Amino acid sequence: MSDTELERKYRIVLDISPTPLLVVGQDGVILLANDHIESLFGYDSGALVGKDIDILVPDEIKHIHPELRRAFFELPTTRGMGKGRDLFGKHRDGRLIPVEIGLQPIFEGEETLAVVSVVDITERKNNENRIRLTLDAAASAMIKIDDHGRIVLTNASADAMFGYAKDELIGRTIEDLVPERFRRRHSVYRTSYLISRERRAMGAGRELYGLRKDGAEFPIEIGLTPFEDAHDRLVVATIIDITERKTREDEIRQKNAELTQLNEELTQFAYSASHDLKAPLASITGAIKLCQQDIAAGNAADADKLLSRTQRMSERLAQRIEDMLSLARADHVDDVVAPVSVAEAVGDVWTSLGGPDRGDKVNFTTRFGHEDPISTVKVRLLVILENLLSNALKYRDPKKGRSEIAVETHAAGGSFILSVRDNGIGIPEDCRDKVFKLFQRFSNSKDQGSGLGLALVQKHVRYLGGAITFKSTPAGTVFTVALPERPNAAIQDAAE
């Protein structure tokens, strides 16, 4: 068909169309162009006819455009171009114009031509940029999702929250931001929401987690807002990282637990002050009055017995007060972690308790299976050893003849394990849930203490980030202490 016949056939259609249009041959030559497209790209009327279509193509894609054009003519179909990606046309002055392009094949005998429609979307892009700037200014992460769960838009806060570069999330599914173990159920939740499509918050009654690009999980809250544009049904998810809030809540729970424990200790202290200390003081006062009477009556022997008894009661009362002060001071130890030889510490404590002076009445053995020295706070370790060994000595079973006390250590799972075993009288079954409580005594032994020793041991063990357990039968008792091999972080956590 000649150019004249082609123009006569299509000119009226091109001229009355409000859309910028041109007709292109298979060789890429522009055969017809209406005024709208010439005006759009800055050309005079008729100036585009006879030119190669590449004159309107940006320089960076000119080298691939001929191949794309040939592919269209090999399989000519009606199609739109530009949805989901950015297309640009080149103005006469060199600037780029954002556009959407439609291709419509027409057949003239054996020749195939293409009608190209071009829509200037500059204003739409400007609006999108304004919306994007507004979204990026938002402190909350915002993600737009289509009805297939694909991400079509994210703001800067969302990119930063999940660790992605700008636009890196576009085209991914929202499940990519959900931990693996939740993905299957999340797709069910998403499908259900798209059916109901109501504005709501997610996570009521359950905890939600996001997944960062590096694989880290973090707690989140999500608000969902549905809307529809001209083409799709979309959902905007507003996401808040609540890691800091969760951390504060955990800290508050921990503080509440500590305050509850402290309140219990204070209550027990008050009880001890009013009962355990008051009774001995009353006894001492009564003994002194009787002693005064014996002296006045000239009964020196009875007065001497009363004075000896008063002295013993005073010593026990002084020890009780010292034990209470020791427990209070446990919160204020200078936690300096340093190498400590456990073998030397055990030997020093055993000597200070008079263990070697007990002759063949006590068989004391040690077996150290760890690598000495260990890193710990020496003063706390000494208190732990002193109280555990002291208890083993106090509660020996006279019916068993020779007493057996053993200290054993080993390393396991990143922890230093110490156990103190004896063949003493054991702890009564009905008292075992009270072992680490204040002022608890489980025997009528004359050697009994204030009932603070094991509470003190537990407090020091906890400060070192460890744990203490025990097993007891009539055959004896074993206390086991597990301390972290790297105690600094554990001590810091306990202090906070």
pLDDT tens digit string along 354-376? 777 776 788 899 999 998 889 88
CA distance 231 to 225: 17
Residue 244, both tokens: 């800091």
What residue spans of 330-373 are helical by DSSP H? 342-352
Domain boundary among 223, 241, 259: 241
| In a shared domain, residues 84 and 137 | no
| In a shared domain, residues 483 and 454 | yes
Residue 76, pLDDT score = 86
CA distance 495 to 487: 12
Closest listed residue to residue 48, CA positions, set 67, 62, 28? 28
Tell me which of 204-218, 373-387, 424-438 is least confident. Answer: 424-438
Question: How would you classify residue 289: left for phi > 0, otherwise alpha for psi between -120 and 50, otherwise beta?
Answer: alpha
| In a shared domain, residues 390 and 440 | yes
Closest listed residue to residue 321, CA positions, set 362, 364, 262, 273? 273
The arithmetic mean of pLDDT across residues 55-82, rounded, is: 86
Are the C-beta atoms of residues 294 and 302 closer than 8 Å to each other? yes
Local confidence band at 304 (pLDDT 50, 70, 90 cut-offs): confident
**263 lies in a domain?**
no
Tell me which of 59-68, 397-406, 429-438 is least confident. Answer: 429-438
Mean pLDDT of the chain: 81
CA distance 435 to 386: 17
Q: Give the DSSP H/E element, type plus range, for residue 272.
A: none
**227 lies in a domain?**
yes
Asked if pLDDT for residue 348 goes beyond 90, the answer is: no
Asked if pLDDT for residue 482 goes beyond 90, the answer is: yes
| In a shared domain, residues 94 and 162 | no
* 266 CB-side CA count, 13 A: 6
CA distance 80 to 359: 101
**262 lies in a domain?**
no
Rounded to 10°, the helix 278-296/300-329 angle is 160
| In a shared domain, residues 391 and 448 | yes
Structurally, the chain folds into a number of domains equal to: 3
Q: Each residue of 2-23: pLDDT tens digit?
A: 556 666 777 777 878 888 999 9
CA distance 463 to 85: 59
**366 lies in a domain?**
yes
**316 lies in a domain?**
no
Sign of CA dihedral 456, 458, 460, 463: negative
Q: 208-211 and 151-154: which strand pairing?
A: unpaired
The arithmetic mean of pLDDT across residues 340-350, rounded, is: 89
Residue 300, pLDDT score = 84
**315 lies in a domain?**
no
**291 lies in a domain?**
no
Residue 24, pLDDT score = 92
| In a shared domain, residues 154 and 53 | no
| In a shared domain, residues 377 and 485 | yes
| In a shared domain, residues 15 and 102 | yes
The arithmetic mean of pLDDT across residues 321-327, rounded, is: 61
Asked if pLDDT for residue 1 goes beyond 90, the answer is: no
Report which listed range, 4-13, 41-50, 396-405, 424-433, is most confident. 41-50
Rounded to 10°, the helix 378-394/342-352 angle is 50
- First-to-last alpha carbon distance for the chain, in angstroms, is 88
pTM: 0.42
Bond preceding residue 373 cis, omega within 30 of 0: yes
Domain span including residue 129: 125-241
Q: Tell me the percentage of the chain whose pLDDT exceeds 70.
A: 79
Report which listed range, 82-91, 170-179, 201-210, is most confident. 170-179
Residue 135, both tokens: 């979204």
Domain boundary among 212, 241, 270: 241
Each as own residue / partner, the long-range contacts of residues 486-492 (CB below 8 Å, 24 or more positions apart, any chain) are 486/375, 486/414, 487/337, 487/375, 487/376, 487/377, 488/337, 489/465, 490/464, 490/465, 490/466, 491/335, 491/337, 491/377, 491/463, 491/464, 491/465
| In a shared domain, residues 88 and 44 | yes
Residue 90 maps to which CATH number?
A: 3.30.450.20
The arithmetic mean of pLDDT across residues 151-160, rounded, is: 89
Q: Each residue of 219-275: pLDDT tens digit?
A: 988 888 877 665 567 788 888 898 888 888 888 888 888 788 777 766 666 655 565
| In a shared domain, residues 341 and 197 | no
Domain boundary among 104, 120, 136: 120
| In a shared domain, residues 90 and 155 | no
| In a shared domain, residues 107 and 230 | no
201 backbone dihedrals φ, ψ, rounded to 5°: -95, 145
Residue 229, pLDDT score = 63
Q: Give the DSSP H/E element, type plus range, for residue 323.
A: helix 300-329
**313 lies in a domain?**
no
